[in-house]
Amino acid sequence: MRVPDARITLSSSAVYPESTATAFELAARLGYDGVELMVTTDPLSQDIDAVRRLSEYHQMPVYSVHAPTLLITQYVWGDAWGKVDKSVEAAKAFGADVVVVHPPFRWQQTYARDFATGVAQREQDSGIGIAVENMFPWRAGVRELQAYLPGWDPRDFDYAQVTLDLSHTATAGVDAYEMAVDLGPRLTHLHLADGSGSLKDEHLVPGRGNQRCADVLELLARRGYTGSIVLEVNTRRSTTRSERETDLAEALAFARLHFAAPVEPSYAVSTDGTIEVVSGLRSLGTGPVG
């Protein structure tokens, strides 16, 4: 089996309504490789120095920063580009290499007009990857609202780096595996979660919905993916810390189990008529031809 050197990390949003500090504690206890900091209304998540101290104390690196581009964080870290720039600053402070951003809302027309070029310029200037996340249309009954500009599907735009979120594919009603195939090497960041196709953005523990979570993980393993696999799951219905830990442990186990791909053997026929099965540089044995 081939298991590339990718990092399996925990989104700090996965412990809500507990605090950002809890995310570092649980990530360390459960065996995650690091944390994705989602900047939220939690004051601790907005304090770069405090987060850096948490990271050092728990020996849990922050590998990526999710910019505060949600509706509930509209007043966090300034205007639209201010949020991105502050997130890049935070990533540099943590030694992270990716900032996750959502596409602009349709009412952010000035921001949307220069979004793609602004993202590309900031990547070039900072050396930090800015991975634009796939979203979904908003629906009310049979009505559908295109809430994002220039659009919710990153396949339609020339972003150098993309975050694929498997809860969002469920809500959008698109095939996550097909999107992963279509994105090709532009898929540099993964939000691993699940969904049932509900109108709600569910962020279920992988394996509890209908998304092709295992197939996407195997596809990335076949590609030799070395980015981050971020468990961005919803545990807010957990009534105890023990329930939350169980869900997060299950999510991590799913990722480690399925992020692997069988190595395709190659065959070499020797002069004495035997066939040697070779996988990479390791011989797996010999036998007669036929």
Instruction: Give the DSSP per-residue string, 216-269.
Output: HHHHHHHHT--SEEEE----TT-SSHHHHHHHHHHHHHHHHHHS-BPPPPEEEE
Question: Is it the case that residue 268 has pLDDT exceeding 80?
Answer: no
Mean pLDDT of 167-186: 97
Q: Where are the alpha helices (DSSP H) in 96-206?
A: 109-113, 115-126, 166-172, 176-183
* CA separation for the pair 82, 264 (Å, rounded): 47
pLDDT for the residue 182 = 98
DSSP 8-state secondary structure symbol assigned to residue 55: H
- CATH 3.20.20.150 in the chain, residue ranges: 7-259
Q: Tokens standing for 82?
A: 């201010």
Q: What is the largest CA-CA distance in the chain?
A: 74
pLDDT for the residue 271 = 52
Mean of the per-residue pLDDT values of the chain: 91
Q: Tokens standing for 260?
A: 């692997």
Give every strand in the sheet of 274-279, ordered side by side.
Answer: 266-269, 274-279, 282-288
| pLDDT tens digit sequence for 216-260 | 999 999 999 999 999 999 999 999 999 999 999 999 999 999 999
* CA separation for the pair 72, 17 (Å, rounded): 14
Say if CB 34 and CB 9 are below 8 A apart: yes
- Specify the CATH architecture of the domain 7-259: Alpha-Beta Barrel (3.20)
* CA separation for the pair 162, 178 (Å, rounded): 14
| pLDDT tens digit sequence for 91-138 | 999 999 999 999 999 999 999 999 999 999 999 999 999 999 999 998
Residue 133 forms beta bridges with which residues? 163
Could you give the C-alpha distances from 129 to 62, 70, 124, in angstroms and in order? 14, 19, 9
Q: 274-279 and 282-288: which strand pairing?
A: antiparallel
pLDDT for the residue 142 = 64
Compare 263 and 69 and report the one with higher pLDDT. 69
Say if CB 221 and CB 187 are below 8 A apart: no
Residue 8 forms beta bridges with which residues? 229
Phi, psi of 82 (to 5 degrees): -60, -40
